[in-house]
Homo-oligomer: A and B are copies of this chain.
């Protein structure tokens, strides 16, 4: 097996020579075989071992075993002990998820701090088949049936094409020692159940199962590429992107034969999960919206508008009298003037003596009203927005400049009559958006 493994790794991963490599080693058979293979193939690397402290002295013995092996071969090593159970309890996560997060967070940090180019892990094709079956059992889309990727950014899995059986043969032929993880033998975890009860039957039904599986993965990965290609070809036609929004043209979308599938493809990266609600949204009233953790999808007349969730609407900022300029949350300059030049959407001239400092910058609230410049009487801000055809997002982006609770200016849109300077005003204050 050594030759076969060596041939594969030296041809496929020739780019690794001269790179800074760190290898994740649990002490189990897979990672010990990969460590042996790397040594025998002349690679220089360091080792990182996670002690999750979940199996008492067994865990510590694993740690000791990895440490001794590294010392014996003069391989630099990093060891980290995690309070996995505590972390899981604290974050209300399963032990498996907790261990995974701790592990990859630490690896990230380790690579960044020490300038490693690649992290190597010892996953193999049986792991990939297990992952496929886990996702399948739980329910998934095509993207959940891609197996484990051989390379994912700077994580490489050189043993991925090999089976557990081949790795065992390698270990035997090359007298690699390793430690058995007692939790692997238990059926406690979902993965172990699949490993011990499903995979053996598949291999019995098709003795060539792992090869067939590799071919299946290739076919599915190719199908996924075409799905993404169709998705992006159609995207260009249907979606307009601006700096902070994507606008999905519903008239164009409705003409597509698989509109829900396209929406799913396009919106998946934004963390949405309530797909039926989203599909209903295409037919819903203007103003309806659906949220993911970070994004908002809004039905606005003939469009669905995707945007980042905005800040809470109750934020407000004070502008002290002595300030000449503010840079947050928007850029405003305030300057004393001897005369009025010309009002515009982005510049107003007000009577400074009529203002009560500090001025307030805040968002619109239900019940707000103002006295629009050039008009008689007052108007609800909501009515003004409606007349000006503001979308929900427009409304949320708009700042109101206020004196106490009275609106001075719907910034960048319309001034309030009450505060505007006129030819009699003695202290003219110019306020402009930069």
A residues at B contact (CB < 8 Å): 136-142, 145, 190, 193-194, 197-198, 201-202, 204-206, 208-209, 211-213, 215-216, 219-220, 222-227, 229-231, 233, 257-258, 260-262, 264-265
Q: Are A142 and B225 within 8 A (Cβ)?
A: no
**Contact assessment for B223 and A142 in the assembled complex, using a CB-CB cutoff below 8 Å:** yes
Contact across chains for B193 and A226 when beta carbons are under 8 A apart: no
A137/B219 in contact, CB under 8 A: no
Extra 7 A-B pairs, beta carbons < 8 Å, given A137-B202, A226-B231, A226-B258 = A141-B220, A142-B142, A190-B205, A222-B258, A226-B227, A229-B257, A230-B233
The SS class assigned to the A binding surface is helix
Q: B residues within 8 A CB of A227?
A: 223, 226-227, 230
The smallest beta-carbon distance between A146 and chain B, in angstroms, is: 12
The 10 closest A-B pairs by CB, nearest first: A139-B212, A141-B219, A230-B230, A222-B261, A142-B223, A226-B230, A226-B227, A229-B230, A225-B258, A223-B227
Do A212 and B141 touch across chains, with their CB atoms under 8 A apart? no
Query: Measured between alpha carbons, how far is A322 from B62 in the docked complex, in Å?
Result: 97
> Which residues of B are found within 8 Å of A140, using beta-carbon distances?
216, 219
Flag if B215 contacts A229 (CB, 8 Å).
Answer: no
Which of chain B's residues have a CB closer than 8 A to the CB of A224?
Answer: 223
In the assembled complex, the CB of A135 is this many whole angstroms from the nearest CB of chain B, namely: 9
Given known A223-B142, A257-B229, contact A201–B202 (CB-CB < 8 A)? no
Contact of A209 among B137, B190, B213, B265 (CB under 8 A): B137
Give the chain B neighbours of A222 by CB distance below 8 A. 258, 260-261, 264
Residues of B within 8 Å of A205, CB to CB, are: 137, 190, 193-194
In the complex, A265 Cα to B219 Cα: how many Å?
10
